[in-house]
Amino acid sequence: MTVLILTLGGSNSPPSHPTAPVSPVLLAVRHPAPTTPPTTPSPAPSASVPAPAVTAGTGPAGSLRTTGSAAVALTFDDGPWDDTPAVLDLLAQYHIKATFCMIGRQVAAHAALVRRMVAEGHTLCNHTWSHDEMLRTRPADRINAELQRTNDAIHAVVPGAAIGYFRAPGGNFSPQLVSTAAGMGMTSIYWSVDPQDWRGPGVQSIITNVLTNTRPGSIVLLHDGAGPQTVTALRTILPNLASRYTLTALPDPDSHGNA
């Protein structure tokens, strides 16, 4: 895979993505180094559609580990990026809705992709502005700025779009992160299936991990910024899962229960 892998902050944080997630994890992505941390918020966004009510789950710091129903949710982190169009094409081919956890600093340069996500019925998720894996240790104003600046960037492209979910970089949640997201109307989401496609483990490894470990209610973690292996694996994963489960974008958190 001809991509540049750059490990963002937190290399000594909790262990890398486990197959059966029980604790916060690391995440390496092929993005440029974080820009200067935001100190002032972007201009206020247009009025947005009311976000779903926030729900606590059984994941780290109360994040959601499952969908709370028999439906399976596919989630894609670290975009919008070069492989996002191919992911969207495959989702459209199989009539599947997914959830995209976007890095704020990448939104403006890929505005057309964000508009396409909304137009095609996918769910939007805040994945912070700079993908700082140590964000949970930062001051409250830095945490607030990372989340708010991302929401503002998304709303600058798709005014009025609902951003009902938040995923901490690397899954490194803390009560403060979850609380801050909740204050902005966002429910924090973790995952229950992680093929670690960001490592480039090979197409068959990604396929086998997802197909073997997905159960009713699973939240599957994938990356549209991980490189072509994920796209190739999806050609097998999507029709297989669609034949066995109802695949959905994350629904209104009110339906989750104790997820």
Dihedral sign for Cα 103, 105, 108, 109, please.
negative
Mean pLDDT (the chain, rounded) = 83
Amino acid letter, residue 93:
Q
Per-residue pLDDT band for 16 (boundaries 50, 70, 90) equals very low
Q: Catalogue the active-site residues.
A: 77, 223
Residues 57-98 pLDDT 10s: 999 999 999 999 999 999 999 999 999 999 999 999 999 999
Per-residue pLDDT band for 226 (boundaries 50, 70, 90) equals confident
Amino acid letter, residue 61:
A
Q: For residues 99 and 84, what is the distance between their CA atoms, to the nearest angstrom?
A: 12
Specify the pLDDT at position 54. Answer: 59
